[in-house]
């Protein structure tokens, strides 16, 4: 998929729906990219217990048509990385935003599809501060991870999410973006997102 630098091995977004009554519904990996086509195919075909992964021949068509839930490191995200390596400043991209619009994530995107505040009706407000860390996937500390939970104050369906370097909706640069099958929320429900960007 376009948009992931050659140094990136994989990018994933996992989700857990946290209902207003406290019940947790793990959805598994809702958006996935790996630089190996074989790995993407294995993911698309799915396996038992694989969260929302599809199984069967239809999954191959979804993979080829890019309907498996795209995850991209954006062009602006690459600039965030090089700025931080150079020591040029800039905020850490650990703010979680979500949107309700349709579309397939692309490297050139600068925002989410219909980004919303927690009330899922307002298109202005703030993003959620996530907890960032370096975790080990294949090599020590090779993966940047951000975990953040957004709780809806009104009903709606979330279809995409991203990491930003600004708390304000409509401002800042987006590091990575993911689109996925819609996740329906009632007021008081939330989604715990786990974003992972693995480097080689």
Each domain of the chain, given as residue ranges in start order, spans 8-32+69-199
pLDDT, tens digit, for every residue of 62-77? 444 444 467 888 999 9
Task: List CB contacts of 4: < 8 A, sequence separation 6 or more.
Answer: 11, 33, 35, 72, 73, 107
Q: What is the chain's mean pLDDT, rounded?
A: 85
Strand segments (E) across 122-189: 128-129, 131-135, 143-151, 156-164, 174-185
Two structure tokens written together for 124: 């202005």
Residues 70-109: tens digit of each pLDDT: 788 899 998 998 888 888 878 999 999 999 999 999 999 9
């Amino acid at each position: 998929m376009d948009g992931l630098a050659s140094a990136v091995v994989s990018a994933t977004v996992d989700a857990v729906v946290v209902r207003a009554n406290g019940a947790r519904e793990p959805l598994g990996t809702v958006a996935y990219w790996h630089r190996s086509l074989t790995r993407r195919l294995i993911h698309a075909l799915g396996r038992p217990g694989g969260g929302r992964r599809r199984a069967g021949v239809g999954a191959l068509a979804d993979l080829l048509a890019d309907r498996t839930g795209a995850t991209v490191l954006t062009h602006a995200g690459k600039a965030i990385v090089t700025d931080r390596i150079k020591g040029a400043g800039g905020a850490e991209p650990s703010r979680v935003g979500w949107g309700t619009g349709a579309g397939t994530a692309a490297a050139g995107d600068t925002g989410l599809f219909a980004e919303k505040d927690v009330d899922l009706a307002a298109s202005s407000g703030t993003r959620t501060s996530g907890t960032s860390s370096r975790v080990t996937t294949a090599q020590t500390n090779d993966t940047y991870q951000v975990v953040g939970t957004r709780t809806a104050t009104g009903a709606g369906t979330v279809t995409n999410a991203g990491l930003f370097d600004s708390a304000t909706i409509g401002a800042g640069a987006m590091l990575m973006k993911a689109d996925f099958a819609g996740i329906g929320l009632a007021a008081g429900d939330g989604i715990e997102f786990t974003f992972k960007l693995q480097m080689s």
